[in-house]
Structure 1
Amino acid sequence: MDPVIELISTGDEVLTGLITDTNAGWLSQRLLEQGWQVRRRFTVGDNKADLVALFEQRSHCADIVIVNGGLGPTSDDISAAAMAETAAVPLVLNEWWLKVMREKYAGRSRTMPESNIKQAMLPEGAEVVDNPIGTACGFSVQYNRSLFFFTPGVPSELKKMMDQEILPRMRNRLGQQGKSQVRRYFLFGLSESGLSDQLDSLSWPAGIILGYRANAPTIELKLIIDTDDADAIAVAEAQLLKEVGNHLVARDELQFAALSSLLHDRDLVIFEDASGGRLTDTLHTLTPEFEGHYLAGLPDTAEDLAQWLKGSGRATTLAIGAEGPQGVPMALLTPNGCQAQTLKVHFRDPLMRRRLLAFAAFDMLRRQLEGLPVIIDYDILPRSEQISLP
């Protein structure tokens, strides 16, 4: 049976939304990479009674509980005190961690404030979890069914402690690796709801479910795998790839730098109008020698834009024209000819419009360089015109 792993995020700032809880998302993804899927996540404010009640409740339900936040030196940092009250043990001074903190301050030519002593007060019987870069040590406590890990809220400290200290302890307790895994696929041109309608009605092997995440301009589609059946995994991936077809842009991670590597050693020029120079700006940060131009007043039909490119005298040119009655034209000129299309953009947000147009144009180029059909149907950007000139 898979271990039950739960996360608890603490702090009034997190609960009220004044701070975005990026730590919980990172923890869930990091654990999934190790083969363990988080079962539940909770958020609670700086209220000791609420923390004690939650710790007691979860101690009977979960194998591992990772608590994030509340280990600082101020009065509202109460995670250690709450755990001590839950387990009915006193807080005791950890002399080793107090010595570590004093040495860290001395190394910065500073005197440690007395308030920091609070960070060395741990529930009796707790095991210290080293924090190599901060003053808040983590600690672990076995209580009822659960092994609790307490971690600081500073993201850089949490990540280092998780990788260096907590994951090795978890592997020792749960086994070297869980069987859960996630495979990620980044798609462009499809809507999240349309993709869900298309895929959710299909039959998927036992132990495999789908996950969706809209992150414009792409959609991240996930196979969340809770089986070690290699044949079932292969069947599921083959079915997914067949359904999404040519809309697949990248696997595992969407890195524009990796996509832009296609442009190295290419004599390419880009002209932009309706996209406001967004594609040019993005590519410039990755390939400084790249040539791109933002020009107002480019043609607003696919045919006119294609003819304009053919007269430019360039070998390979990509252009995003001005918005016209039929939408926004874009054209790709190569030594083999010119292909152009006009796409309708129904999004009102100006930034979103520019991002979608820039990525659609880049997608045409990517397809041409990878030997794929240059023009395909996009659900989110319906095409009103298409032409091809020799």
Structure 2
Amino acid sequence: MANINIHLLLTGDEIMSGDIIDSNSAMIADHLATLGLRPSKKVTVGDQLSHLIEEMQHLSQQADVLIVNGGLGPTEDDKTAEALAQVLGLPLAEHAVAIQQIEDWCQHHNYPMNDANRKQGILPKDINIIENSNGSAPGFYCEHNHCLMLFTPGVPSELNAMLKLNILPMLNQRFTEIEPHSTKRLQVFGIGESSLQLKLREQIKHWPEGIELGFRAAYPQVEVKLTAQSKPAEKQIDSLTQTIKKLLSSHVIGEDGTQLPELLVQLLAKERQSITTVESCTGGLIASKITSVAGSSSIFGAGFVTYSNEMKTAMVGVSEKTLVDNGAVSEPVVIEMAKGALAKSGSDWAIAVSGVAGPSGGTKDKPVGTVWVAWGNKETIKTVKLFLPFPRQRFQEYVASAGLDLIRRELLGVSETPYYFSKK
């Protein structure tokens, strides 16, 4: 890692109160890592002007680079520009370049510019502007206490674009000693972080020197990250990536930022096939994941949320006798759900789920966390009983992703048994 001292200052009462979770610092760190840089300190403060001034002054005295995130918006509690003006001893004034960017943004979105928008262009006099390609609030930067201070928006999509398009090139140009590091990322589903680490450390006896292994749980997927920290290590990172892919086999769903829903839509579109969903315990989450992907209309025409027994019968034709004899959470019921959804929708593939999401409703035979999954086509319906004793939302998220993963495996012709299959 290059010896450049980088601090982060995250702002906002909503972060301090826990109303939102700070994911922006992780995003910043990820981007910096591509240059071989790593923040050495992170401070979070609310929207109190005195605290902002104090931390900007203090951190700029310690750091080579200070990245301030948040507080650039149009509301009264967005005080970052005002705080910086006091730190620099400069007046606030309308900044012509910033105002022009805001006007262009409003015009592009057919949105009348108002006083709140104009506030985003009132900045410390003659400050340097960073273009915001995804939003209305310009970023800005300055030098203070021999520290490069960079001010970024709190909206994640805006921050992401600004880091990639503006800030990383700026840092790369300023610090000539930076040596960008090669990074490989693998997206894994069905194996937990601790099991992954244990498996890799046990199976790879001679870990290449200079390659750092990292994990990030972005539930329900886990990201495996390899970072080459030297030129010799860069020559080994590709072969190590292939070794890990071979070890983890079908649990690797892709590289970089690959997500299960996007991958499944791509696979189905490639085969010109369609899918339907019929859901009880997940309440439509599987369909939601599929339709969150642009272009999913080409592979998804209908989904069914059959939460009650009556709707299982009315919507997809599950036999009342099957329900009485076996209960809603059973193999015969999910098979009939899948077959009924295929018949009603005319789709090529179906996923059906019925389970006990909890926290109540479980029995000795079917405790909370029990779920039956059926998946397949008109020729073959496969089933599995899983036991996932997780909190309700976590349970639903995992079941939905498991359903997508099982269809992925069918489309790819994978016969290997998933690690997450339960014997219970």
Contact 1:187/1:250 (CA < 8 Å) preserved in 2?
A: yes
Unaligned regions of 5+ residues in structure 2, if any? 307-311, 313-317, 356-362
Taking a change above 3 Å as real, the CA distance of residues 376 and 169 of structure 1, as seen in their structure-2 partners, is closer
3-state SS, counterpart of residue 141 of structure 2 = strand
* Equivalent residue, structure 2, for 1:387: none
3-state SS, counterpart of residue 368 of structure 1 = helix
Code of the aligned partner of 2:216? R
* Equivalent residue, structure 2, for 1:40: 41
Once the two structures are overlaid, the 10-residue window that deviates more, 358-367 or 334-343, is: 334-343
Pairing of 1:1-390 with structure 2 (within 5 A): 2=2, 3-33=4-34, 36-47=37-48, 50-71=51-72, 78-80=79-81, 82-83=83-84, 86=87, 89-91=89-91, 93=93, 96=96, 100=100, 116=119, 119-122=122-125, 126-130=127-131, 137-153=138-154, 158-159=159-160, 161-175=162-176, 178-199=179-200, 204-228=207-231, 229-253=233-257, 254=259, 256-264=261-269, 265-266=272-273, 272-280=279-287, 282-283=289-290, 286-287=296-297, 289-290=300-301, 293=304, 294=306, 295=312, 318=350, 320=352, 322-323=354-355, 325=365, 327-333=370-376, 339-349=382-392, 351-373=393-415, 375-378=417-420, 381-384=421-424
Once the two structures are overlaid, the 10-residue window that deviates more, 67-76 or 10-19, is: 67-76
Once the two structures are overlaid, the 10-residue window that deviates more, 156-165 or 256-265, is: 156-165
* Equivalent residue, structure 1, for 2:315: none
Q: Between Structure 1 and Structure 2, whose CA radius of gyration is higher?
A: 1
**Number of matched residues?**
378
CA distance in 1, matches of 2:71, 2:337: 62
CA distance in 2, matches of 1:102, 1:191: 45
RMSD: 4.6
CA distance in 2, matches of 1:143, 1:195: 44
Contact 1:97/1:120 (CA < 8 Å) preserved in 2?
A: no
Code of the aligned partner of 1:345? L
1:112-153 Cα deviation digits (max 9, x unpaired)? 58x94992333xx75344557877654322234421122344
1:27-58 Cα deviation digits (max 9, x unpaired)? 33344456544443221234455445433443
Taking a change above 3 Å as real, the CA distance of residues 338 and 172 of structure 1, as seen in their structure-2 partners, is same
Unaligned regions of 5+ residues in structure 1, if any? 385-390
State the percentage of identical aligned residues: 27
CA distance in 1, matches of 2:11, 2:84: 13
Once the two structures are overlaid, the 10-residue window that deviates more, 200-209 or 225-234, is: 200-209
CA distance in 2, matches of 1:273, 1:106: 43
CA distance in 1, matches of 2:97, 2:261: 43
CA distance in 2, matches of 1:117, 1:290: 43
Q: CA deviation at 1:237?
A: 1.8
Q: CA deviation at 1:155?
A: 5.1
Taking a change above 3 Å as real, the CA distance of residues 131 and 91 of structure 1, as seen in their structure-2 partners, is farther
Contact 1:61/1:145 (CA < 8 Å) preserved in 2?
A: no
3-state SS, counterpart of residue 140 of structure 2 = strand
3-state SS, counterpart of residue 215 of structure 2 = strand
CA distance in 2, matches of 1:373, 1:51: 57
Q: CA deviation at 1:256?
A: 1.0
Q: CA deviation at 1:206?
A: 3.5
Taking a change above 3 Å as real, the CA distance of residues 171 and 344 of structure 1, as seen in their structure-2 partners, is same
Q: CA deviation at 1:221?
A: 2.7
Code of the aligned partner of 2:400? A
Taking a change above 3 Å as real, the CA distance of residues 234 and 284 of structure 1, as seen in their structure-2 partners, is closer
CA distance in 1, matches of 2:65, 2:224: 28
CA distance in 2, matches of 1:117, 1:355: 38
Taking a change above 3 Å as real, the CA distance of residues 99 and 43 of structure 1, as seen in their structure-2 partners, is closer
CA distance in 1, matches of 2:347, 2:263: 24
Q: CA deviation at 1:68?
A: 2.2
3-state SS, counterpart of residue 365 of structure 1 = helix
CA distance in 1, matches of 2:8, 2:27: 11
CA distance in 1, matches of 2:45, 2:149: 16
Code of the aligned partner of 2:265? S
Code of the aligned partner of 2:223? E
3-state SS, counterpart of residue 418 of structure 2 = coil
Code of the aligned partner of 2:423? R
